[in-house]
Structures are given as structure tokens and as C-alpha cells.
Amino acid sequence: MKKIPTNSLRAGLAFTEPVYIEGNSLLVPAGIAIKKKDLVRLNSWGIDTVYTDGSIITEQPKNKAADNEPEKKGSIFDSEDKKDKSILSLADVQENKGTYRIYIDLIEKVDGIFSNIASGIPVEVRSIDNIAGSMVHAVREQHDQIVGFILGGEVSGYELAKSSVNSAILSALIAIEMKLPNHKVIQITTGALLHDAGMLRLPKDILEKKGNLSEAEVQRMQAHPLYTYKIICKEFLYPEDVGLVALQHHERWNGEGYPRRVAGAEIDIGARIVSVADAFEAMVSEKSYRNSMMGYQAMKNLLSDNSRRFDPDVLKAFIRIMGIYPIGSIILLNNGAIARVVEVHKDAPLRPSIRVLIDEFGKVYKKDEGDLIDLLTEKSLFIARALDPKEISKK
């Protein structure tokens, strides 16, 4: 790998390949611009060299006004995200306000924790507790808005942190729906936030391999729940209940999962919950190696499980929460109008409340100006099919 002096780095630089600190500690993924806070971290850690196999592909123009603002403001978005005023964007996303600011803040904080884990920097466990507590509070108080961001958010980069926050939000919702005690909800949310932290301890050549993994590499990859368990219980000194959430989240209801092939009710309830949440999040989030799936299609995939992978009771709770058309889904009505799902009804998953984006006459509405319609009471209307927001944007 090429050595790059840290004093030659500038905010806005991006490389064709990932940039690493010493060993396998990732600084930024390929194609993601280095940010001011990354440079601050390198300086505070006394690191004078980073490593990459890539070359510079872009340098974002320097914004002097932005340099005078705290890094946190809008730092999770690239410039295109800020400019995007598409009708498909949620109002909070467009203006980076309210509950969306809370959502962004959670992702940035989790990303900071993961950066420390990857670099071997001690983590203040209280900060994880504060994130989990804030998340459960947000889920209880602002359920519809924060769930909507999982499908309707426009966060760039921060892949592992975003995935972990989304999975934790969904896990908290399921745990609450199943009427688990509050202390258990907090434990499951904490375990969900950290459930893939062990990936940070895997060799980069396995994580970045473009072809099929060898049998030995697959075994190494499947050991990441064990690494996570050690981080949670040995390094952070969380109780066993939190560690089991991460250790068993890849176990399957039929006993064909890993790392220990535990089956049925022998799998920790928190792990069973995170298994469903993590699977849905993986399907609807775009990865570097595949496109995202519509919320409707992801729900159909979960419904076809037939008790192979998931606890049926956990899956039923998830469907009650999310509906067949999850909050944030873009749908086509039978009259030709296009709308976004804004609320689901537990007893009528096919008839959610919707906000019109384009009416049957082709009129386009800005932000939240379109009619709010409850399909539970508006019997003449029904959902014809789900739409892919990307295809609509292209048209």
C-alpha cells in the first residue's frame, strides 16, 4: 500500500480505494470524501501516515463559510443531498430539521464509536447508553417520523453506522410492540446498535473481496458475532443479555444458522428480534454490491419465510408495526395518483394513511401540501402497487 502523510490530506479528498490507518483500521471507504472531523481525529491520535491502494478521484471545493461552522451541521450529507428538493424527499429530509436532525445525530455518534473500536481507541460506555436511551425515547415519541427515515432518508456514506442505527430503531419498535419490559427494550436496542461491531475486527481483504469467499474466508466472516460478543461483554463489560443479542443474531429458527446452530426458543429473544430487523434493513438499504429493495418487496420476502429463519411471533409483531407497505413507501393509487405512506394501521396493513405527491390530474405538490388520505375510511381508493422511487426520479 502507498503511504500518505496526514499533513497532505485535506477535507474533500476522496480515493478510488479505502484509506486505512495502521493495520486494518478503516479511515474512509472508497469514494467517500475525507471530512474535517477525520483530520481532527488523526491529529488527536498522533497519526502521521495513512495507507491506500487508491488514487485521488475528487476534491470537493473548499467552502470558507462552512469551515467556520461546527462540523456536525450537515456533515453527514454531500452537496447533492442538500440541494435535492425532489417531491419524493420527506420535508424533514429536505430541510434537515426536527426528528431528522435527531436521526442524523444518532448515526454520527455511532460512527464515532465504530471509528474508535476500529482504531483501538477506548470507548466511553456511557456514550453508548446515552445513544440507546435517546433512540428508545425517539421511537416511543416520534414513531412514524423516525421509521419513515429508514426508507425516505437520504444519508450518504456511514454505511455500518446507518445500518446499525436503522436495525436498532426497528428492534426497539418490535420489542415495544411485544410488550417487553423497558430494561429489556434498552438491552435489545444496545445489542442491536453493536450487533455488527465485530466486522470491524475482520481482515480488510475479506471485507473488500469482490469474488466469492473461500471456505476458510466464509468461516472467518461467520465468526464476526463472536468478535462482537467479546467487544460487548469483555471490553465494554455489558451483561450477558446484551452480548447474546449480537452473538445469536445470525442463528436461524430452524437451527441452520451460525455460529452455534442454536434453534427455536433457545435463541435469545433479543437476537430473534434483531434477526428480523437486520434482514429488513439489509434489503431496503443500498450497498456497494447491490441495489436496495422497495419496502413492499422486502416485506413480501419476510412473509415468505415459513418459519425457516425467523421466529413467527417476532415476524407477526414486525408486520403489525410496519404494515405491508412500510412508512416511507411510494405507492400508486387506483385513480392514478402517486403518494407516500405516512402511517400504518395494525389491523388493516393494506390500507395505510397516505400523503399525495402527484394527484390524479398530474398536479405535483411540494413538501407536505398534498392531501392526507386515510385509506381505512376512504373506501373508493386502494393501493394498486408499490413504486420504486428511483425510477420515478429518473422519469
Q: How far is CA 113 from the centre of its chain?
A: 15
Determine the pLDDT at residue 287. 60
The gap from C-alpha 21 to its chain's centroid, in whole angstroms, comes to 24
pLDDT at 73: 38
| Pair 224, 248: CB distance under 8 Å | no
**Is the pTM for the entire model greater than 0.85?**
no
Contacts of 234 (CB under 8 A, 6+ apart): none
Return the closest-CA partner of residue 78 out of 19, 31, 148: 31
Tell which residue, 292, 298, 295, 327, has the closest CA to residue 310. Answer: 298
Q: How many helices (H) and strands (E) does the chain have?
A: 17, 11
- 3-state secondary structure string across 216-282: HHHHHHCCHHHHHHHHHHHHCCCCHHHHHHHHCCCCCCCCCCCCCCCCHHHCCHHHHHHHHHHHHHH
What is the residue-averaged pLDDT of the chain? Answer: 84
- Rounded distance between C-alpha atoms, residue 301 and residue 324, angstroms: 11
- The sheet with strand 338-343 has its strands ordered as 372-374, 353-358, 338-343, 330-333, 383-387
> What's the CATH fold of domain 76-322?
Hypothetical protein af1432 (1.10.3210)
Beta bridge partners of 372: 355
Q: Specify which residues 356 forms β-bridges with.
A: 339
Every domain of the chain with CATH number 3.90.105 lies at 1-71
C-alpha grid cell, residue 353: 394513511
Q: Please list the residue range(s) of the chain that carry CATH number 1.10.3210.10.
A: 76-322
Q: Which residues of the chain are under the pLDDT cut of 70?
A: 22-26, 29-30, 44-45, 58-86, 286-292, 391-395
Could you tell me whether strands 372-374 and 56-59 are parallel, antiparallel, or unpaired per DSSP bridges? Answer: unpaired
- By the 8 A CB rule, do 188 and 171 touch? yes
CB neighbour class for 24 (10 Å; exposed up to 12, middle 13-18, buried from 19): middle
CATH topology of domain 1-71: Molybdopterin biosynthesis moea protein, domain 2 (3.90.105)
